[in-house]
Amino acid sequence: MKTVQELFLQGKTRLRRLPQADPALEAKILLGKAASLTEGEFFASPGRPLSRATEDRFWKLIDKRLERRPLAYLTGEKEFWSLPFAVFPGVFIPRPETEVIVERVKALSSGQKENIVDIGTGSGSLAVSLAKELPLAHIVATDISRRALRAAILNASRHNVLSVTFVQGSLFAPLKALSLKGRLHFLVSNPPYVSEKEWRFCQPEIRRHEPKKALVPGKTGMEFIRRLIQGAAEYLRLSGYLLFEIGEGQADQALSWLDRRWENIKVTNDLAGTPRVVECRRA
């Protein structure tokens, strides 16, 4: 039988074939998954022998990763806002850049009873994180995908969040049925914003495995954002905020669509210095 340290080193060596990956980190995560080891157990017991069944599970995970399957799909979860979120194939994997929206809503919120809508919730990462930070808020989270909503409901339950209502539907359609016109304090979204051209050059982990609908709204990548801006004011109360994520190079186009209905317009960069979140207040 091989030890934790031996399998880790062998796995790290094999994962060096992957471009743009951290082989040590990924080998540790996959070994932890295969052996049901916590991070503390991994570091505390390098000489611990592992069973042949565990070794087999580990190498199967390594092989799948070398096939460019996303790490989050292999482990079944992805961290967002320091919380673990369950993800599986067909569900968009949350990215750390989107945490900027949580930061901005938290900064703008009164912390009292507020109505918040998250359009295109995916795994529920935004809605659940906001519910944890703003426990008095009532949050509605929508998505067109039933599979995504199953993941979101699972994650809300996992984090003991009861203040989020999940509804299936596209863009503003679910909000009409809930009579939310003119009632929202915040409308947030991490919309699809990848163009068809950009999609062709995405990493295989994204192009082969993540749901294209959650990433590509059309030829230019701006189609969903334009519709979001056009319809958002109808649902926000006076001085309510619209916040949405954008891709690199999209800020100028998005800002050009913000007419006299909007004030206090701001673009916040992510940690890499890329313009990432547009926020504006209904005038």
pLDDT of residue 45: 87
Tell me if residue 135 is catalytic: no
Tell me if residue 190 is catalytic: yes
Q: What is the pLDDT of residues 41-63, one digit of tens each?
A: 989 988 899 999 999 999 999 99
Res. 177 pLDDT band, cuts 50 70 90: confident
Catalytic residue among 190, 217, 224, 244: 190
pLDDT of residue 133: 97
* pLDDT > 90 in the chain, percent: 95
* pLDDT > 70 in the chain, percent: 100
pLDDT of residue 1: 87
The Cα–Cα gap between 264 and 109 comes to 15
Res. 223 pLDDT band, cuts 50 70 90: very high
pTM above 0.85, yes or no: yes
Q: What is the pLDDT of residues 80-136, one digit of tens each?
A: 999 999 999 999 999 999 999 999 999 999 999 999 999 999 999 999 999 999 999
Q: What is the pLDDT of residues 27-39, one digit of tens each?
A: 999 999 999 999 8
Catalytic residue among 92, 172, 186, 224: 92
Tell me if residue 172 is catalytic: no
Please name every residue paired with 268 in a beta bridge, in sequence order, or none if there are none. 277
DSSP string, the chain: --BHHHHHHHHHHHHTTSTT--HHHHHHHHHHHHHT--HHHHHH-TT-B--HHHHHHHHHHHHHHHTT--HHHHHTEEEETTEEEE--TTSPPP-GGGHHHHHHHHHH--SSS-EEEEES-TTTHHHHHHHHH-TT-EEEEEES-HHHHHHHHHHHHHTT--SEEEEE-STTHHHHHTT-TT-EEEEEE-----BHHHHHTS-HIIIIIS-GGGT--BSSS-HHHHHHHHHHTTTEEEEEEEEEE--TT-HHHHHHT--TTEEEEEEEE-TTS-EEEEEEEE-
pLDDT > 90? residue 174: yes
- Tokens 């982990």 map to which residue? 205
pLDDT of residue 20: 87
Average pLDDT, the chain: 96
Q: What is the mean pLDDT of residues 198-216?
A: 96
pLDDT of residue 27: 97
Alpha carbon 162 to chain centroid distance?
20
pLDDT > 90? residue 176: no
Q: What is the pLDDT of residues 236-278, one digit of tens each?
A: 999 999 999 999 999 999 999 999 999 999 999 999 999 999 9
Catalytic residue among 70, 94, 174, 191: 191
The Cα–Cα gap between 281 and 237 comes to 10
Length of the chain: 283
